[in-house]
Structure 1
Amino acid sequence: MDEEEYQEESKKINNIGPDPNAWLVTFTDLVMLLLTFFVMIFSTRSIDKLFIRDVFSQLFKHAHIEDSSGDIPVVGQKKKIILGKEMLKKELENQEVLKKINAEEDERGISISLSSDALFQSGEARVPLSGWHLLDALGVLFRNIDNDIIIMGHTDDIPVKTDKYGSNMELSVERALAVAKYLNERVDVPASRIAAGGYGDSRPAFSNDSDKNRTRNRRIEFILRKPK
Structure 2
Amino acid sequence: MAKKHRHEAHEEHTDESWLIPYADLLTLLLALFIVLYAASTTDVKKFQEMSQAFNIALTGGNGVLESYKSLDSQTPNSANRDNKTDSSEAQSDARSQDLTLQQLIQKEQENLEKLKKQLDQYIKKNGLTSQLQTKLNQSQLLITISDNALFSSGSAVVKPNSRSLAVSIANMLQQYPGYEIIVSGHTDNEPISTPEFKSNWDLSSTRAIRFMDIMLANKKLDPKLFSAVGYGEYRPVASNESAIGRSQNRRVEVSIIRKYTDPSRKQNVSAGISRP
- The question of a shared fold, defined as TM-score above 0.5 by the shorter chain, is answered with yes
Q: Kindly indicate whether residue 192 of structure 2 is the aligned counterpart of residue 160 of structure 1.
A: yes
Paired position in structure 2 for 1:218: 250
Q: CA deviation at 1:191?
A: 0.9
Aligned to 2:169: 138
SS where residue 216 of structure 2 aligns?
helix
TM-score by length of 2: 0.49
- Residue-by-residue CA offset, 1:24-54 (whole Å, 9 max, x unaligned): xxxxxxxxxxxxxxxxxxxxxxxxxxxxxxx
SS at match of 1:87: helix
8 A contact 2:197–2:203 mirrored in 1:
yes
Question: Size of the alignment, in residue pairs?
Answer: 149
TM-superposed CA distance for 1:103, in Å, is 1.6
Aligned-pair identity in percent equals 30
Matched, 1:204 2:231: no
Counterpart check, 1:182 vs 2:214:
yes
Deviation digits for residues 159-198 of structure 1 (CA, Å, limit 9, x no counterpart)? 1142211110111001111111111125753212211101
Displacement after TM superposition at 1:83 (Å) = 5.7
Question: Contact 1:84–1:105 at 8 Å: present in 2 too?
Answer: no
8 Å Cα contact 2:191/2:200 also seen in 1: yes
d(CA) in 2 for partners of 1:88, 1:218: 24
- Counterpart CA distance in 1 for 2:258 and 2:169 is 17
Opposite residue 158 of structure 2, the aligned amino acid is V
* Matching residue's letter, 1:123: G
Higher gyration radius (CA): 2
State whether residues 152 and 197 of structure 1, in contact with CA within 8 Å, keep that contact through their aligned partners in structure 2.
yes
Q: In structure 2, do the counterparts of structure 1 residues 141 and 108 end up closer, same or farther at CA, with 3 Å as the change threshold?
A: same
Distance in 1 of aligned mates of 2:141 and 2:223 = 19
Question: For 1:164 and 1:82, how far apart are their aligned partners in 2?
Answer: 42
Which residue identity lines up with residue 202 of structure 1 in the other structure? Y
SS in 2 for 1:221: strand
Distance 1:115 1:82, change over 3 A: farther
SS across alignment from 2:153: coil
Return the letter of the residue paired with 2:234: S
> CA separation in 1, counterparts of 2:165 and 2:231?
22
**What does residue 157 of structure 2 align with?**
126
Q: Which residue of 2 is the match for residue 148 of structure 1?
A: 180
Tell me the alpha carbon deviations over residues 118-158 of structure 1, each in whole angstroms, 9 at most, x when there is no partner.
11111111212121121122121122212221000000010
C-alpha change, 1:83 and 1:129, in structure 2 (3 Å) is same
Structure-1 residue corresponding to 2:44: none
Query: What TM-score, normalized to structure 1?
Result: 0.59
Aligned to 1:90: 117
- Unpaired runs of 5+ in structure 1? 1-79
Q: Bigger relative contact order, structure 1 or 2, given CA contacts below 8 A and separation 6+?
A: 1
Paired residue secondary structure (1:222)? strand
